[in-house]
Amino acid sequence: MATAVVIVVVAALVAVAAALALVVVRRVSAHAPEPNEGLVRAVDEMRLKMDELSHDLSEALERAERENRRNRLFGELGGSIDLEELMDRVLDAAMEIPGFDAAMMVVEGHGAAPTVATRGMTAQETAKPPTSGVAGALAGTITVTYRYGRDREPPDAELISGGVFIPLIGRELSPVGTLSLFWRSRDYEPLPEHIEQAESLVESSIPALENARRYGEARKLAETDALTGLYNQRYFHETLRREVLRAQRYERALALIVFDVDDFKSINDKVGHLAGDRVLAQAADRLREAVRAVDVAARIGGDEFAVILPESSAEDADQLYRRVQSSMRGTSLGPAEDRLRLSAGIAELQHGDTAAGLFERADGALYRAKDLGKDRADVSRSVDRS
């Protein structure tokens, strides 16, 4: 901020000096009997120098403002422990560095898929991003220039022409991920000082990224059922409350389905508890394969599961039940059983519903399905006002 203030003050002083010089020239010209060519030439040169100085000051002011924004983003890096939010802040700071048109950040997960965030990239580029051409973790910063055949893309297409790939190296030289910065101008080459700025950004962000990654892993463990890998009961009820409030606020559809493994006690008695746990894990796998990416599947009891379906109706939930029911036929229970059977209760959010009320209606429909003979789904059609 101090740099920007100094530049503004200097620019104001230059403008005042230029105005005074012009006034002096006008006064001299007013008393001269005829135009003085040397004086006119000197005035023109002075104006040209003033214009150049003004342009230089304008660029300096722009650089100072950009540096202030980047410094502010630097200062905000330690203010979050959410990995995705932190990655967004790093990319925002990276895009303030001159010369880059797009950026991608990848943070590796321990035993899980990496987290990816991008800026200025098309869907096709995000799906199949440019690479450094180096397998495995990078040993250091790599600059790459790309060349495309004429038959692949139109000549005027704004393709990525090159990139800088900077590794994120954590404690004990462990790889954390990569920050990639790209440009589209065909004749562009990043300046060394701009690459140094990007490397400084990476170095400053690594401690915060490592903390956020550890926090995310710990949070996932706290939200996940150890046996099935689905969300646990606590996370399910928190999410259900949040989704019900959101759906009521924006008048969106929401459905809930509660599953129960039929006669699971007898399954445990026949095959043993360890084998029974394997059955539950297999059932969770079938459920995970059937749900959409936006659905929230959880284990909410011993042999009881639930799925929250945003933007969905009771009919959508019933279709999910049929998919899960069909896939369960391939779950082996041993030679004495033919297949795993599930009963389900379905409820659709209605005006005046609370999260607790929606769950109670779905749970009540599940018990009705059990009473009607099991291996089926029952739908709660209305809110009980009694």
- In sequence order, what DSSP letters do the residues of 82-111 get, joined into one string? -HHHHHHHHHHHHTTSTT--EEEEEEEETT
Classified by CATH at the fold level, domain 80-222 comes out as Beta-Lactamase (3.30.450)
Buried b (16+ CB within 10 A) or exposed e, 26-38: eeeeeeeeeeeee
Q: Which of 26-30, 274-278, 373-377 has the lowest mean pLDDT?
A: 26-30
pTM over 0.85: no
- Please tell me which of 107-111, 151-155, 178-182, 201-205 the model is most confident about, judged by mean pLDDT: 178-182
Q: Which of 69-83, 208-222, 363-377 has the lowest mean pLDDT?
A: 69-83
Q: Which of 74-88, 90-104, 204-218, 245-259 has the lowest mean pLDDT?
A: 74-88
Integer Cα distance of 10 and 54 in angstroms? 10
Number of H helices, E strands in the chain: 10, 10
- Please tell me which of 52-56, 112-116, 161-165, 274-278 the model is most confident about, judged by mean pLDDT: 161-165
Query: What is residue 5's predicted lDDT score, i.e. its pLDDT?
Result: 47
Does this chain's domain 80-222 share its CATH topology with 233-380? no
Rounded mean pLDDT, 223-232: 91
Q: Which of 9-23, 39-53, 133-147 has the lowest mean pLDDT?
A: 9-23
Rounded mean pLDDT, 119-148: 88
Strand 254-261 and strand 304-310: the pairing is antiparallel
Confidence class for position 65, pLDDT limits 50, 70, 90: low
Q: What is the residue extent of each domain of the chain?
A: 2-77, 80-222, 233-380
What are the tens digits of pLDDT across the range 139-186? Answer: 899 999 998 876 655 555 689 999 999 999 988 888 999 999 999 998
Integer Cα distance of 370 and 189 in angstroms? 69
Query: What is residue 23's predicted lDDT score, i.e. its pLDDT?
Result: 47
Query: What is residue 6's predicted lDDT score, i.e. its pLDDT?
Result: 47
**How far is residue 308 from each of residues 113, 156, 316, 347, 360, measured CA to CA in Å?**
23, 47, 11, 10, 14
Q: Is the pLDDT of residue 43 over 70?
A: no
Query: What is residue 340's predicted lDDT score, i.e. its pLDDT?
Result: 79
Integer Cα distance of 345 and 321 in angstroms? 9
Q: Is the pLDDT of residue 327 over 90?
A: no
Q: Is the pLDDT of residue 78 over 50?
A: yes
Confidence class for position 24, pLDDT limits 50, 70, 90: very low
Q: How far is CA 45 from the centre of its chain?
A: 54
Query: What is residue 366's predicted lDDT score, i.e. its pLDDT?
Result: 96
Please report the beta strands in 7-137, taking only residues with DSSP state E, as ranges in sequence order.
102-109, 112-119
Q: Indicate the SS3 state at residue 218.
A: helix
Query: What is residue 346's predicted lDDT score, i.e. its pLDDT?
Result: 97
Kindly name the residue from 225, 262, 295, 303 that is annotated as catalytic. 303
Q: Is 82 tagged catalytic?
A: no
The per-residue pLDDT of the chain, averaged, comes to 81
Q: How far is CA 366 from the centre of its chain?
A: 37
Query: What is residue 75's predicted lDDT score, i.e. its pLDDT?
Result: 57
Rounded mean pLDDT, 128-133: 89
Q: Indicate the SS3 state at residue 118.
A: strand
Query: What is residue 250's predicted lDDT score, i.e. its pLDDT?
Result: 87
CATH class, domain 233-380, is alpha beta
Contact between 180 and 105 (Cβ < 8 Å): yes
- Please tell me which of 37-51, 142-156, 316-330, 361-375 the model is most confident about, judged by mean pLDDT: 361-375
